[in-house]
Chains A and B, each alone.
Chain A
Amino acid sequence: MVTKTAETFPNQVDLSAPVIEAEHLIAGYQDKTVWSDATFTVGRGQFVAVIGPNGAGKTTLFRLLLGLQRPLGGVIKIFDSKPKRGNPHIGYVPQKHGIDQDTNIECLELVRLAISGYHWGVSLDPGKERKIALDTLTSVGGEDLAHRSLGGLSGGEMQRIFLAEALVSNPEILLLDEPLSNLDIRRSEELVKLVDSVVRSRNVSAFLVAHDINPLLPFLDNVIYIANGKVATGTPKDVFTSERLSALYGVPIEVIRDSKGNVAIIGVSDRDADFVNPNRCVGCGESK
């Protein structure tokens, strides 16, 4: 009795192929298209931000990559194969986890579960699993958290655990769904730097969903910008231009850069206002 997992997966994955290829991809559900005409390619070791207003379909993109949803049209390939569930080449850090203050379970246990938790039965080599889990935790600077309870952690500490959880299988792709949402500026910066170091040291392609592009700008290779049913991809320089965004939103948008290179976007409606950092003062030169 084996669950449909990585083991039943074709082993021959062409790791020299582009990591992710999308061509005229359409995402949605039976009665509703969320976004369409997404065409992009992502290579190894790229740090990609996935940006857009709430409900635009950023999580939908992740679900397509994870094989949890089928595209309505177009093509999407991961290492030249169709996305499948239980892909060991993808590490996933979802937005919510079922953990609250009362959860009294050791952090190491959760990281350990990511190694073999999708197999039936009990683990035959818990010692080896614990070692791998501890090593992965250490690689993200979380070794002190190993024996602490999941329930007592701060937001920043939890993100470290979740990151370790995603990295145990040594994936080539990392999907992070709004990991910065509940963090203050300093923790946010720390996490972004951590993800960047993971990207560079492990040659991992990371996709990070965020609301505010600016903390990520110094580290980004590419942006996938989803809004209004449309998808724009490219480098931040290409995507964050008034022309591109106006075309995407269908209304006049102005992109302004301050002296530090921060981006401010003007003209977005109130509905999408939470995408634009409300604390940003245009032309003030103030950043953090």
Chain B
Amino acid sequence: MQHAFEAGTIIAIVAGVIGYFVVLRRSSFAAHALSDIGFAGAAGAVVIGVNPVYGLLLFTTLGGVGIAILGPKAANRDVEIGTVLAFMLGLGVLFLSLHAYANEAISILFGEILGISASGVVLTLAASIPILIVTVIVYRPLLFSSLDEDVAEAKGVPMLLISIIFMLLVAVATTFSVQVVGVLLIFALMVTPAAIGQQLTKKPVYAIIISVTVALLATWLGLFIAFYEPYPVSFFITTIVFVLYLFVRYAYPRLKRLRRTQTDQPQPNSQPI
């Protein structure tokens, strides 16, 4: 259990940070596609008796670079990406049927962080530190190219390189997030916490902090509850972030408006053009 908390903490931080850029660049579908592509890799690894994480890593990395090279617009090409990921899921199903271990399937699809070993934690840490360092290094050009492609390109930002680096970051972050919530629930760590952050603040740094905090809280709470209840960790994590998102998206703005009219303050955002 202690290992689960350690790994979960590291993964939540990474997912919260990378997730911000996934949401910003509107690449959440591409991120989901990467986890499905990784699924085939994980299932294949199980068939040949290798740690599924390595299969995940290989396939998500290749998939990520592929999406980046196809062009920056590829991240929005739902049809192409959807077709590839459906094929990958099919491959994964084939591999799993060859192996006939249902437990492995459940772990890959829905996460099994409780079973992580000490070496698993070390591997997670070893992959996560470079991710965070690279994120700091590419922070400015990544933010710039995400917000204003053409001006960033005109100013000399190496667009293809940034694209590839970004997809690689997503690939590795996805690989380790799959350990916690599984291939199917990847949004819960990589997208929803960041979406919550973006709803609450206009400053990117604060949004990232909120994203990481939400991911951490959901993971810790999820692990804590799973300790006492016989239900899967990923379910609790997903539910917690979902409820938080609903609140922030719908209830919080109404509360804000209510408070504003009660204190009779002029609304700052309703300026004439």
Q: Do A and B bind each other?
A: yes
A: which residues have CB within 8 A of B?
1, 3-6, 66, 68, 85-86, 90, 92-99, 103-106, 109-110, 113-114, 116-123, 144, 147-150, 152, 154, 156-157, 165-166, 187
Task: Determine the chain A residues whose CB is within 8 A of the CB of B141 once the complex forms.
Answer: 3, 117-120
Contact A96 B150 (CB under 8 A): yes
Task: Determine the chain B residues whose CB is within 8 A of the CB of A66 once the complex forms.
Answer: 154
Q: Is B271 on the interface with A (CB-CB < 8 A)?
A: yes
- Smallest distance from the beta carbon of B21 to chain A beta carbons, Å? 12
Q: Is B203 on the interface with A (CB-CB < 8 A)?
A: yes
Q: How far is the CA of A122 from the CA of B157 in the complex (A)?
A: 14
Q: Is B213 on the interface with A (CB-CB < 8 A)?
A: no
Contact A118 B202 (CB under 8 A): no
Contact A123 B153 (CB under 8 A): no
Contact B156 A118 (CB under 8 A): yes
Q: Is B147 on the interface with A (CB-CB < 8 A)?
A: yes
Q: Is B204 on the interface with A (CB-CB < 8 A)?
A: yes
Contact B273 A187 (CB under 8 A): yes
Q: Is B69 on the interface with A (CB-CB < 8 A)?
A: no
Instruction: Please report the total number of B residues contacting A with Cβ < 8 Å.
Output: 31
Q: Is B139 on the interface with A (CB-CB < 8 A)?
A: yes
Report 30 cross-chain contacts, Cβ distance below 8 Å, ordered by A residue: A3-B141, A3-B156, A66-B154, A86-B156, A90-B154, A93-B151, A95-B150, A96-B150, A97-B148, A98-B146, A99-B147, A104-B201, A104-B202, A104-B207, A106-B202, A109-B202, A113-B143, A113-B148, A114-B148, A117-B152, A117-B155, A118-B140, A118-B144, A118-B155, A121-B136, A121-B137, A121-B139, A122-B136, A149-B202, A166-B151
Q: How far is the CA of A165 from the CA of B143 in the complex (A)?
A: 14
Contact A156 B273 (CB under 8 A): yes
Pick from B146, B153, B271 the residue with the most CB of A within 10 Å.
Answer: B153
Q: How far is the CA of A1 from the CA of B162 in the complex (A)?
A: 14
Contact A6 B148 (CB under 8 A): no
Task: Determine the chain B residues whose CB is within 8 A of the CB of A105 once the complex forms.
Answer: 147, 202-204
Q: Is B158 on the interface with A (CB-CB < 8 A)?
A: yes
- Smallest distance from the beta carbon of B236 to chain A beta carbons, Å? 28
- Can you name 20 extra interface pairs (CB under 8 A) apart from A110-B148, A165-B151? A5-B155, A68-B154, A85-B154, A92-B151, A94-B148, A96-B150, A97-B147, A104-B202, A105-B204, A106-B202, A109-B202, A109-B203, A113-B148, A113-B152, A116-B140, A117-B141, A117-B157, A118-B152, A120-B138, A156-B273
SS class of chain B's interface: helix, strand, loop or mixed?
Answer: helix
Contact A120 B154 (CB under 8 A): no
Q: Is B261 on the interface with A (CB-CB < 8 A)?
A: no
Task: Determine the chain B residues whose CB is within 8 A of the CB of A123 once the complex forms.
Answer: 140
- Smallest distance from the beta carbon of B235 to chain A beta carbons, Å? 28
Task: Determine the chain A residues whose CB is within 8 A of the CB of B151 once the complex forms.
Answer: 92-94, 97, 114, 165-166
User: Which of A90, A93, A117, A152 contacts B269, CB < 8 Å?
Assistant: A152
Task: Determine the chain B residues whose CB is within 8 A of the CB of A119 once the complex forms.
Answer: 140-141
Q: Is B149 on the interface with A (CB-CB < 8 A)?
A: yes
- Smallest distance from the beta carbon of A16 to chain B beta carbons, Å? 25
Q: How far is the CA of A6 from the CA of B156 in the complex (A)?
A: 8
Known: A5-B156, A113-B148. A147 touches B202 (CB 8 A): yes
Closest 10 CB pairs of A and B: A86-B156, A117-B144, A94-B150, A106-B202, A5-B156, A118-B155, A92-B154, A113-B144, A66-B154, A118-B157
Task: Determine the chain B residues whose CB is within 8 A of the CB of A117 once the complex forms.
Answer: 140-141, 143-144, 152, 155, 157
- Smallest distance from the beta carbon of B127 to chain A beta carbons, Å? 21
Known: A5-B156, A103-B147, A165-B151. A121 touches B202 (CB 8 A): no
Contact B150 A97 (CB under 8 A): yes
Q: How far is the CA of A111 from the CA of B135 in the complex (A)?
A: 21
Pick from B138, B153, B155 the residue with the most CB of A within 10 Å.
Answer: B155
A105 — nearest CB in chain B belongs to which residue? B202
Q: How far is the CA of A104 from the CA of B199 in the complex (A)?
A: 7
Q: Is B198 on the interface with A (CB-CB < 8 A)?
A: yes
User: Which of B139, B156, B198 contacts A104, CB < 8 Å?
Assistant: B198
Which residues 150-189 of B have a CB within 8 angstroms of A?
Answer: 150-158
Task: Determine the chain B residues whose CB is within 8 A of the CB of A114 once the complex forms.
Answer: 144, 148, 151, 155
Pick from B137, B140, B203, B269 the residue with the most CB of A within 10 Å.
Answer: B140
Q: How far is the CA of A110 from the CA of B150 in the complex (A)?
A: 13
B148 — nearest CB in chain A belongs to which residue? A97
Task: Determine the chain B residues whose CB is within 8 A of the CB of A165 once the complex forms.
Answer: 148, 151
Contact code string B114-154 (vs A, CB < 8 Å = 1, else 0): 00000000000000000000001111110110111111111
